Structure 1
Amino acid sequence: MSEGVRATPHPLRTLGHRLFELFRTVAQNSPSRFAIFVFVGLILIFTGLFSLPIASANGQVTAFADALFTAVSTICVTGLATVNMATHWSPFGHVLIFIGVQIGAMGVLTLASILGLVISRRLGLRAKLIAASDTNPLRSHGGPVNESQTVRLGDIGALLRVVALSTLVIEFVVAVLLYPGMLASGIEWNVALWEAPFYAAMAFTNTGFTPNVEGVGAFADNYWVLLVLMGGVFLGSIGFPVIFALRRELWHIRRWPLHTKLTLITTTTLFVVGGLVFLGLEFNNPATLGSLDAADTTMQSFFLSAMTR
């Protein structure tokens, strides 16, 4: 019996296999370079998406510089913008912003490490330290850190789960709490269905983009919305390692890691001191808080402190 003719592999399949092998090699041999590759790739992808006519409210192509700046600002959760974020982008563009800040909040390097794990089937020591250091606000330098500056390496898988789960749960709860407050401020129910999760994401990621023209000013007299936003900002500012530690040892303060104690003490101190400073400087200034009553002046002072923190 004659041997059958071997089928020629499809060019696209061959190219895909080579790319997969390239990604796996880079992920195994240099997780830091792979993380940078993912970071730059995400920025380029979002730049292209923001440049699409469907992403802008007027249906026109957004200038490359504005699309690139918005992509970087979104992925890096800076909250800076070169266009009016409320009016320039279409609903599709706002969805891109929403997704981008979620990626930024979870940490591009952490996501790169997870992707590297999927590709290489293993997460090496260096990649684990990169993932841990990316979510550690006390790291003293960029890149990998020593074990004393991170959570225990045996906990890295649990930490990554906490990163994803806490983001979803906290933003969901914040959005649910914001919704009735927005209705009380006169926002239509269908508009609030979108603005509540958007504000929840912006608060927890400490980004600050707003989907409405008035911004947070639309809720200046709504203490409920302001308090919920402050809570979301606080939870986002303490960082995932702290949330991870509190999740395990919430009622056992003596077991809290030093990093957790320092973060909570410092964050709370800055919040209180900042609020008192705003209150002391502006309580008699008619151009800012001087025209408000004592309760409103106090509330606005501490809200400003939370937002600047």
Structure 2
Amino acid sequence: MLKIEGIAAFVAVAEAGSVSEAARRLRLSKSVVSERLAEMEKTLGATLLHRTTRKLTLTEDGLAFLERASRIVQEVREAAADLAERRGTLTGSLRIAAPVTFGRMHLGPALYPFLADHPEIELTLDLDDRRVDASSDGYDAIVRHGPIADSRLVAWKLAPSRRLLVASPDYLRGNGMPASLADLGDQRGIFYTNRGVADWRFQGPDGAIIVRGKLALGINNGDMCRDAAIAGLGIALLPAFIVGPAINQGLLVEIDVGYRPEVEFIFMAHPEGRNPSAKLRAIADHLKKTFGDPPYWDPAG
């Protein structure tokens, strides 16, 4: 007879692409995960995974079994959570991905009191600036800043997120304060490379207006973009949740070129077609209240 532990191990391995990563997510040893896989394959009388020294792939039988196996695991998790929630308890595991800088500066401090109030929630928070696939990477939800690029996601807005054009006072004294988009094109820029392009985007009356500055520095980390701007290397367009404190302290100055950057949001998104648990909804509601509207990190004035 099939055991749910074996089905869960198979789904985790299929999603993670390796036994070792699946074991990490399940918080089990590799040997236990391997044993559960072997026992399930023996019970089914079928080989579900091709194993080599370099990679692990699903067999034809494995692909056919995965869709229903994933549904079974999800249903069992939701059923167990529903029973606990009927008793007024938020419980069970959650796996959420979030950006590094926002996670460190704002998401973590907002989550800590919530988790302290709900000790039966088992949250795994993965901080990574790369664009993860919420469904195939096995996340219950992702927290992100910006536009929503994946149409397979259902998004909940947690807070508006203004992006501000900033530079250090020293840089502006040496290079002049740009007052228009034309002025901005002659300036040195610090660009967040995970967005893929070295440009500044603004809202115009007929759509997006794109200005390309001179590349001074490209970095894939928001903290370092802010620090480079404070060091006087150039102008940066960064979220208020990163640069707000530096503006309040006088380390950075907001630049007004007559146009606002494109509107963005802090949002939580979960895969389409997956019924979000009560604990995920509770976390989203808590974050929305904690961040505020306008959010507390917006600079004074």
Which bracket does the TM-score occupy, shorter chain normalised? Answer: under 0.3
Query: TM-score normalised to the size of structure 1?
Result: 0.23
Higher relative contact order (CA 8 A, sep 6+): 2
Q: Normalising by structure 2, report the TM-score.
A: 0.24
